[in-house]
Amino acid sequence: SARFIICLSLLIFFLACITYHPLKKYIQDWNTLRPVPGAEGAYPIIGNALQFSSNAGDFFNQIIEGTTEYRHFPLVKVWIGPLPLLVLFHAETVEGVLHSSKHIDKAFFYKFMHPWLGTGLLTSTGDKWRGRRKMLTPTFHFSILAEFLEVMNEQTEVLIQKLEKQAGGDPFNCFNYITLCALDIICETAMGKKIYAQSNSDSEYVRSVYKMSDIIVRRQRAPWYWPDFIYNLLGEGKEHDSRLRILHSFTQSVIKERAENLENTGSDNETDHVFKRRLAFLDMLLQATDEEGNYLSHRDIQEEVDTFMFEGHDTTAASMNWAIHLLGSYPEVQTKVQQELEEVFGSTDRSATVDDLKRLRYLECVIKETLRLFPSVPLFARTVGDDCRINDFNIPKGVDAVIIPYALHRDPRYFPDPEEFRPERFLPENSTGRHPYAYIPFSAGPRNCIGQRFAMMEEKVVLSSVLRHFSVQACQNREDLRPVGDLILRPEKGIWITLEKRQH
């Protein structure tokens, strides 16, 4: 009938309107990027998506094999669904993106973190990001970080007590021990809240932090999960929402409690005394103002607290675990670290001070070399903010560039015998003249990691304490580790070690 034909025509017209611009952009990008070398087998619209394994470990191996296969090319393109991705893993091309203030927006894939992290420091863009960064930078000042040392020492003591029960025994997986310690540290420093993760690893909040990371990564890799209306109907989408409620209600209640505590600091009760003594990032956020003198809303604060919680424990935990594996695999390096610890601490059992940490220069080289081989964030992505040229290729605005530190850090031009663990690479005399973008475990340029000094401080405290108390032996070869590159680089089956108690 005429009515049916009119309805059908309107529907076709409507579909043509909503698909015209995306389709036009897709065809333009396809033509502009044609000269860029790319992964083979890309189909129209779905791209290379079907070639990627759904298993996280296999997927990461595919990426690393690809960077090895294409290492002689300055950049490579891959299509995930209708979206082109540029893959960068050479210092010269990486600098082109990270150094520029035009390319500071995070890529499309980060939008799947928005339900959890909102648009805090990790995920925000443009003026909001610039304003937040300016406002939050003072909260990472060294004198403020020094206040957190007490928390780091206390939680490390709990860890040592847990590890003592394993000393002299069979091989065990230390991954969770270290991770729960890092979670306790970030909870108390970010929120001023003890969650006793090391004593209660079954906590619903702890489980939800891990689960949420897995859920986000699975969605990022599967274009058919991208539309919200489809995702929300699926079991995966429902689990995403229930985890989100747990995570948000926890941080909301802490912010509310902390804000009320701040208003009541006139009273002089016991909790108040602790509150004044122990500063947390949250307290600084509650008192921070923007350039117009406005305070952050509780929602704004929650974005940053959730971001700190996510960014601030998994990354350091993974790095400390990799370091323990490497120290346990290279006894000569471990001996050198322990000699340095004896020079600084003697045979005492005292906690580390800020001055002690400054003197642990060789341990710092060990941490840096660990982050070279196993960067906590193995890949991250930016959106190209303007038409530009990268290595003589025209790159259209809006294309996402994926930077792979894991491959970048293995460039033999800057790191001869790249698979070898050699902390001496990072002694000042061996670092001079190295390309500033050849080593970027904390990203680089205007959008580098705001928490890198916090991370280095925490890692030095925990690792120095473990190595003062124990000698570590690794029970896995490098091949057994199978790194899984989700949001964070983790070993597929944990880190297995044995510990021997050291005699002072």
Annotated binding site for heme: 449
Structure tokens at 89: 């893993």
Decide: residue 428, CB within 10 A, 0-12 exposed, 13-18 middle, 19+ buried: exposed
Structure tokens at 477: 């070869």
> How far is residue 33's CA from residue 311's CA, in Å, rounded to a whole number?
33
| φ, ψ (nearest 5 deg) of residue 114 | -60, -40
Q: Quick check: helix, strand or coil at residue 471? A: strand
In DSSP notation, 291-347 reads TTSPBPPHHHHHHHHHHHHHHTTHHHHHHHHHHHHHHHH-HHHHHHHHHHHHHHHTT
Written as one letter, the residue type at 283 is D
The residue written with tokens 């124990």 in the block is 470
What pairs with residue 473 in β-bridges? 498
CA 261, 265, 267, 272 torsion: positive or negative? positive
| φ, ψ (nearest 5 deg) of residue 388 | -155, 175
H-type alpha helices, 33-174: 56-69, 91-98, 114-117, 126-136, 142-147, 149-164
Element containing residue 287 per DSSP (H, E): helix 281-287
Closest C-alpha to 219, from 239, 204, 205: 239
> How far is residue 194's CA from residue 277's CA, in Å, rounded to a whole number?
15
Q: Which residues are annotated as a binding site?
A: 449
> How far is residue 195's CA from residue 206's CA, in Å, rounded to a whole number?
9
Structure tokens at 33: 């990027």
241-to-211, 227, 231 alpha-carbon distances in Å: 12, 15, 11
> How far is residue 132's CA from residue 135's CA, in Å, rounded to a whole number?
5
> How far is residue 285's CA from residue 93's CA, in Å, rounded to a whole number?
36
> How far is residue 371's CA from residue 373's CA, in Å, rounded to a whole number?
6
Interior CA angle at 205 toward 204 and 210, to 5°? 100
> How far is residue 349's CA from residue 7's CA, in Å, rounded to a whole number?
80
Judged by phi (left if over 0) then psi (alpha if -120 to 50, else beta), residue 39 lies in beta
> How far is residue 434's CA from residue 420's CA, in Å, rounded to a whole number?
18
